[in-house]
Amino acid sequence: MPSTLPPFSLRIPEKLLNKIRFIAEQNKRSTNKEIEFIIEQYVAEYERKCGQIKIDE
C-alpha cells in the first residue's frame, strides 16, 4: 500500500548515514524509520524546553 506521507529528500554525509544504518539495524528498524524516530525525539526535547509547537494541520 502506498504511503500517504509527503516525500522529503534529505542529503546526509555517507559516514553519518552508515552510522544511522547501524543503529537502525540494532533497533530492528529501517533506516527511514530510525531517522523519523530521531527527528521525533529531537522535536519532543525542543518542546519540553521551549513549549509546544502549534501548527495548522
Interhelix angle 14-26/31-50, nearest 10 degrees: 90
The predicted model scores a pTM of 0.85
pLDDT tens-digit profile of 1-57?
A: 778 889 999 999 999 999 999 999 999 999 999 999 999 999 999 999 999 999 997
Residue 21, judged by CB atoms within 10 A of its CB (0-12, 13-18, 19+), counts as middle
